[in-house]
Structure 1
Amino acid sequence: MPTEPETSTGLVIFDCDGVLVDSEPLSLGTLTAGLNRIGVAIDVDTVRERFAGTSMTSIMGHIERDYGIAAPDGFVEAVKAETLRAFDRDLRAMEGIALAVRALELPSCVASSSDPARLAHSLGLTGLLPLFEGRIFSATMVSRGKPAPDLFLLAAAEMGFAPGHCLVVEDSVPGVTAARAAGMRVLGFIGGGHWEHDPTGADLIAAGAERVYAHHRDLAGLIGRAAASV
């Protein structure tokens, strides 16, 4: 176990999609097109509003309950494969994130709703994998994904920190909700391509983020302010 940090923040936990990589416009578009093909009448704005930040298992459960449409065999695997092809063509790291992570004076890790294969693919494509290798946690590792707190609690425990000494960087309401339920502080990131609908980050603030920001060059200062405000 590490010694108690000098400030309230000892560990920074990053979500991946929409925080580290600008993947949400690609993945939400691919998912929407796939759902339309199997008869789900839904648009990309509704998919973003309802499902951004949640796992495919949770998404398909909601689709079956709310739309009465069960995914055919192979649907999830096909959408995942199509999403990875879209990533191969167009995925980019968030501007400034590599520099911001390297400049951190605190341990960091990733806790994401994506499965391990997608995480490795996304972080590998964008050159971010070496910054987090061995410290990447997926919703597949817990019984309940976001907005339940399980994934963040797992990440904190594996990294050796109490929840109250963790600061989460999230871009989705389910992610912010999960972090707050875990007893962690949250910064909301609104710099991704899917946040044009809410440039003030009001949804994230309402869910419990203490501040929102749009460029990772501001991250270090915000972490410092989070520690000082305790």
Structure 2
Amino acid sequence: MCEDRPAPRPGPAGVPALVVFDCDGVLIDSEPISLARLTAGLNRIGVAIDLETVRARFAGTSMASIMGHIAADYGISAPEGFVEAVKADTLRAFDRELRAMAGVAEAVAALGLPACVASSSDPVRLRHSLGLTGLLPLFEGRIFSSAEVPRGKPFPDLFLHAAARMGAAPETCLVIEDSVPGVTAARAAGMRVVGFTGGGHWGHDRAGADLAAAGAARIFRDYRDLAGLLRAA
């Protein structure tokens, strides 16, 4: 749990009072791994879907939302234990392959601004992933999951929850996201948002046209550009 805090104040020239990071595909290069494991799991239960479709439709969304779409669109309900099995398979793959985004630890440490994580991942996966990549100490006590709110991304609930717990007004927050549902959720929360396309799953569109169309004010690929981007945002 995260204790309530005094409200952060915006810095000079509109510098954000709070920077909100998505986790998967933003802090850690997890999406190529997790999307591949999800695709394999769906194929095993008879869902005829490929990796690119899974990426396009489900990157940045919660497992609960994903399984709802699978049932509605493919007429296949996951067998008991399926979600837990996919999660366990994904965590095993993380143990072997997961890495932090290049330069992210240094960029976060140098922010000089309050920061938190707001992710569609469940709390166990979040802490496991951040711990594996050495990023957990940078966000300890400031990690929020979609499991804590009624609706996940693309709804604004998670970002509004994170801002409230951190004591920041939504309009003073800047969100860093890598998915259209995440950008949509941030904009619905009344927050500024920038898109990150440095993850391994963004080979299809490094310019981030989809993120810009969803409302991302700027797009970046390299964490060495983060400080300048925050000043410009």
Equivalent position amino acid for 1:134 in 2: G
Q: Determine the structure 1 residue equivalent to 2:98.
A: 91
8 Å CA contact 2:8, 2:114 repeated in 1:
no
Residues 95-116 of structure 1 show CA distances to partners (whole Å, capped at 9, x for unaligned) of 0000000000110000000000
8 Å CA contact 2:155, 2:188 repeated in 1:
yes
**Mapping for residues 188-227 of structure 1, pairs under 5 Å:** 188-226=195-233
After TM superposition, the score normalised by the length of structure 1 is 0.97
Counterparts of 2:20 and 2:11 in 1: how far apart (Å)? 18
8 Å CA contact 2:194, 2:218 repeated in 1:
yes
CA shift at 1:176, angstroms?
Answer: 0.2
Counterparts of 1:160 and 1:148 in 2: how far apart (Å)? 20
Matched, 1:176 2:179: no
Q: Determine the structure 2 residue equivalent to 1:24.
A: 31
Counterparts of 2:124 and 2:22 in 1: how far apart (Å)? 15
Equivalent position amino acid for 1:133 in 2: E
Q: Determine the structure 2 residue equivalent to 1:80.
A: 87
**Mapping for residues 37-186 of structure 1, pairs under 5 Å:** 37-186=44-193
Equivalent position amino acid for 1:41 in 2: A
CA shift at 1:26, angstroms?
Answer: 0.1
Q: Determine the structure 2 residue equivalent to 1:4.
A: 9
Counterparts of 1:19 and 1:160 in 2: how far apart (Å)? 23
Residues 81-127 of structure 1 show CA distances to partners (whole Å, capped at 9, x for unaligned) of 00000000000000000000000011000000000000000000000
Q: Determine the structure 1 residue equivalent to 2:3.
A: none
Percentage of pairs with the same residue: 74
Structure 2: stretches of 5+ with no match in the other structure: 1-5
Residues 52-84 of structure 1 show CA distances to partners (whole Å, capped at 9, x for unaligned) of 000000000000000000000000000000000
Equivalent position amino acid for 1:157 in 2: A
> Helix, strand or coil: the match of 1:54?
coil
> Helix, strand or coil: the match of 1:194?
helix
> Helix, strand or coil: the match of 1:143?
coil
Counterparts of 1:196 and 1:4 in 2: how far apart (Å)? 37
CA shift at 1:5, angstroms?
Answer: 2.1
Residues 170-205 of structure 1 show CA distances to partners (whole Å, capped at 9, x for unaligned) of 000000000000000011000000000111100000
Could you list the structure 1 runs, at least 4 aligned residues long, displaced by more than 6 angstroms after superposition: none
Evaluate the alpha carbon distance shift between residue 212 and residue 152 of structure 1 in structure 2; reply closer, same or farther with a 3 A threshold: same
Equivalent position amino acid for 1:60 in 2: M
8 Å CA contact 2:8, 2:18 repeated in 1:
no
CA shift at 1:2, angstroms?
Answer: 2.8
Counterparts of 2:106 and 2:208 in 1: how far apart (Å)? 24
Equivalent position amino acid for 1:5 in 2: P
Name the count of aligned residue pairs.
226
